[in-house]
Amino acid sequence: MAANSLSAEFALGTFSVAGSEPFGALVVDDRAIALDALYSRDGRGPRAVLSVLETWETSFPQLRRAAEEIRNQRASRRLLNLMSPIEVLTPHPPVVPRQFFCTGANYRGHVAGLMRGDSSMRPPGSEKEDPEEVARRGEAQANELAKSSHPFCFIKLPTAIVGARDQIILPKDVHKPDWELELAVVIGKPARRVSAKDAMAHVAGYSILNDLTARELVRSARVGFDWLAGKSHPTFAPFGPYMVPAAFVPDPYDLKIQLSVNGKMMQDESTSAMLIDISRQIEWLSSIVTLMPGDVISTGSPAGNGSMYGIFLKPGDIIDAMISGLGTQHNVCVAEE
């Protein structure tokens, strides 16, 4: 998969080096400087990414000015000497959210692919029908609901989140671990009952999230969907490598999403195929909860999941993923000890 260098004015991430404690950092031109070092000039300013997001309206212009000084070599020599190439740093999740939401069935072809490839994902009573017909009906229903209804959102536990280079641990009792690469939205301002037309003002930035799924556990014979068992195993949400501010993503519906397993491309789609847009997702979620700075909304997966192909992850598999302008992920799957 081609390299995906940072082209934005700056990004924010959380990193460590040589076993250090994780630290928030400003990323400029594929180099990073700890927020601690950046703000030590005057002793003021947020030191962790969550703190930056909690003060986003004032922090963003400050960081933009600092990034411009660094890029144009106008920053002090001390600061410039403290910049580290991000390839020598270990990326951690850019921020660990207090609330973590996922939007399901939100891409054309995703629902159809699941129903076509995995009989357990088909509606009850359709077991004897032609899978192609069931898939077509599912896709048509998803398209219609996207026009007339609210998004289908569920909760995933923040404890599932890991970094963009961390191992994915495949639980010993999960037989169909599957991938779902998605555009992640990071909230930068509290949102409660905001309208769709005002929703985007609450977005701080975008990142990459792989919403891994224990596919056979999503459906429960007793209760319908079981999102806890299906979605929230440790390491089932590689996130990052950093967050790119929304100001530097001109069109979040014009981003390429690509994921490969062992070098074979599995997902290759554009965010233009998203059925229910980000503003409607925020409108719906904020009608139920108060979205807080640092909260993450994973906006849905395009077609090309393992269920579509009848292929599931196994120990030793290597997942490489990218979203244009937002960086790359590289995760190796290992068996649970």
> pLDDT of 128-174, one tens digit each?
566 666 556 666 666 666 666 789 999 999 999 999 999 999 999 99
Q: How confident is the model at residue 114 (pLDDT cuts 50, 70, 90)?
A: low
* pLDDT score, position 116: 52
Average pLDDT over every residue of 272-295:
97
| Three-state SS sequence of the chain | CCCCCCCCCCEEEEEECCCCCCEEEEEECCEEEEHHHHHCCCCCCCCCHHHHHHCHHHHHHHHHHHHHHHHCCCCCHHHHHCCEEHHHCEEECCCCCCCEEEEECCECCHHHHHHHHCHHHCCCCCCCCCHHHHHHHHHHHHHHHHHHCCCEEEECCHHHEECCCCCEEECCCCCCEECCEEEEEEECCCECCCCHHHHHHHEEEEEEEECCEEHHHHEECCCEECHHHHHCCCCCEEECCCEEEHHHCCCCCCCEEEEEECCEEEEEEEHHHECCCHHHHHHHHHCCCCECCCCEEECCCCCCCHHHHCCCCCCCCEEEEEECCCCEEEEEEEECC
pLDDT over 90 (residue 193): yes
User: Highest mean pLDDT range out of 67-81, 123-137, 197-211?
Assistant: 197-211
**pTM of the full predicted structure?**
0.90
pLDDT over 70 (residue 1): no
Choice between 191 and 39, residue whose per-residue pLDDT is larger: 191
User: Highest mean pLDDT range out of 3-17, 210-224, 280-294?
Assistant: 280-294
The per-residue pLDDT of the chain, averaged, comes to 89
